[in-house]
Amino acid sequence: MKEIKVVVVDDSPFSIALLTDILTESGFQVIGDASSLEETIEVVGKLRPDVVTMDMTMPGTDGLECTRAVHAIDPNINVIIVSSMMDEEIVRKARKNHVAGYVQKPADKEELSLIINRIMADGELYKELEVLYYTVFKEGFVDSFNKLTKTLPEFAEKTIPSVELVSRGISVVMGIIGKYSGRLLFDLSYETAERLSTNVLKRAPKNSQEMFNVIGEIVNIIAGNACSVVNKKNKLFGLRVAPPTIFHGNSLNISKPDLESVTAVIAKSDFGEIYMSIGFQRGSSEWMSNI
Amino acid sequence: MDVKYINPFLDSLMNIMPQLGISDLKRKSLSVKGKTIKSPGVLINVGIVGDLRGNVIYGTTVECAKKIASSMMMGMPVSELDEMAQSAISELTNMLTANASMGFSEEDISIDISTPTLMYGDFTATASSDKVICVEMLILGLPFEINIAIDRIS
């Protein structure tokens, strides 16, 4: 991995020396420091670091004003507030100013290093998920299906959905939330749902409500298992699922997913056709701090 | 399901809509319904995890959705609920729920939200929670509802 370049902004020469030591010992390259707004603009503009550690209180300025100045130079520079002051109000303001993380002084070496590495690993991490997610969810589908029904679905070629979906009758939607957020969608006809739930219950469902509950629970199991597998591959993903909402009707259209990466597939099961679409996106990523 | 979960969503709506150039907002009624939600034309589902778990399902008519989308796109006429308009409405519900999550954090309740899913047509939703709180509003004189189907994680 390439060396991570850091600029330290702090009005105290003691803090600059201390942070420079900690960062250097952790393998980061401290390429400069600044102790005022003017110096910050000059140093960051010239050196273009990957990360800036930012003190909150400085004479004549504050960490948030300096953060805005850094982002005016390059919005991709990650600013981490390192400050002795930390309360909800400051943290909220920091978030609004697109600060990437927050560490309280005295900064712990391990903690500061972990936060910087996490933030910098972001791009790589998303690529890891992109490569991983479809296979994991498909396997989750097959495994859960096999355990519940003792049958194996057959999959058509995967596709990238580019238009809205006209539902077969029943759509199960589950939000996925973690380092990246996403959505899992299952779509099937009433007939398929009825045959599938009859198989799982070993009797016909009492009413449509019971049938929806069974289908929702199956999708819940698939999503839960798949997310656990993803989290086991790399705990930084931290995926969790929101409970399923089931949509059903004769005229149901689902908008094209507004996701950075999404994959869909049609599975042919003993009970009928089941459509699965799963996708994720970057942005609104988890806030990193030691709070 | 606690009534205090309503305010962050209401505050968020009152705060965000004027920023999008929509100030004609009226609170109509508040009701508790079972898990079945009939679509008024458009439903948008946003998942929630954290101290609370569940879904928020925003509902409105196609006409209202088009008017809101038009306002969000600087008054550009919106005659169909096309891909662009759907994307605008999805983004709106993302903003509304993200803003509500900041309101919850002020109450020491921490939640994270999923990406929204928009559906339209003549259909019904079955929520994850047995009781759903429905906040009915009038936006630009047209119906807009927030269905809150969330439970506290003990």
pLDDT at B1: 59
A132-146 mean pLDDT: 96
**ipTM of the prediction greater than 0.85, yes or no:** yes
Contact B117 A255 (CB under 8 A): yes
Contact B48 A242 (CB under 8 A): yes
Percent of chain A exceeding pLDDT 90 equals 72
Range of the domain at B118: 3-152
CATH of domain A124-288: 3.40.1550.10
CA of A26, closest CA in chain B: separation in Å?
31
Superfamily, domain A5-120: Response regulator (3.40.50.2300)
Distance CA A125, CA A118 (A): 9
User: In this structure, what CATH number is given to the domain that contains residue B63?
Assistant: 3.40.1550.10
Confidence grade of residue A119 (pLDDT, cut at 50, 70, 90): confident
- Stronger pLDDT, A76 or B81, i.e. the higher one: B81
Distance CA B2, CA A244 (A): 20
Contact A175 B121 (CB under 8 A): no
Distance separating the N- and C-terminal Cα atoms of chain B: 12
B12-40 mean pLDDT: 93
A33-58 mean pLDDT: 94
For B7-115, strand residue ranges (E) read 25-33, 36-38, 42-50, 52-60, 111-113
In the predicted structure, residue A290 carries a pLDDT above the cut 50: no
Question: In this predicted model, what pLDDT tens digit does every residue of B98-144 receive, in sequence order?
Answer: 999 988 988 888 888 999 999 999 999 999 998 999 999 999 999 99
Tell me which of B119, B130, B150 to substitute to probe the interface with A (most A C-beta atoms closer than 10 Å).
B119
Confidence grade of residue A1 (pLDDT, cut at 50, 70, 90): low
Question: In this predicted model, what pLDDT tens digit does every residue of B25-35 receive, in sequence order?
Answer: 999 999 999 99
Contact A183 B119 (CB under 8 A): no
For residue A233, give every residue at least 6 positions away whose Cβ sits within 8 Å of its Cβ, in sequence order, or none: A128, A132, A136
Q: Are the C-beta atoms of residues B33 and B124 closer than 8 Å to each other?
A: no
In the predicted structure, residue A286 carries a pLDDT above the cut 60: no
Total domain count, chain B: 1
In the predicted structure, residue A88 carries a pLDDT above the cut 80: no
Percent of chain A exceeding pLDDT 70 equals 96
Gyration radius (Cα) of chain B, Å: 14
Distance CA A6, CA A23 (A): 8
Distance CA A80, CA A74 (A): 15
- Stronger pLDDT, A95 or A1, i.e. the higher one: A95
Cα of B13 vs its chain's centroid, Å: 8
CA of B140, closest CA in chain A: separation in Å?
24
∠ Cα B29 B55 A209 (to 5°): 90
Distance CA B44, CA A254 (A): 10
- Stronger pLDDT, A220 or B107, i.e. the higher one: A220
- Poorest-pLDDT segment among A139-143, A147-151, A235-239, B141-145: A235-239
pLDDT at A287: 47
Contact A245 B46 (CB under 8 A): no
- The two structure tokens encoding residue B70: 């038009």
Is 0.90 surpassed by the pTM of this model? no
- Coil vs helix vs strand at A138: helix
φ and ψ of B63, to 5 deg: -60, -45
Confidence grade of residue A281 (pLDDT, cut at 50, 70, 90): confident
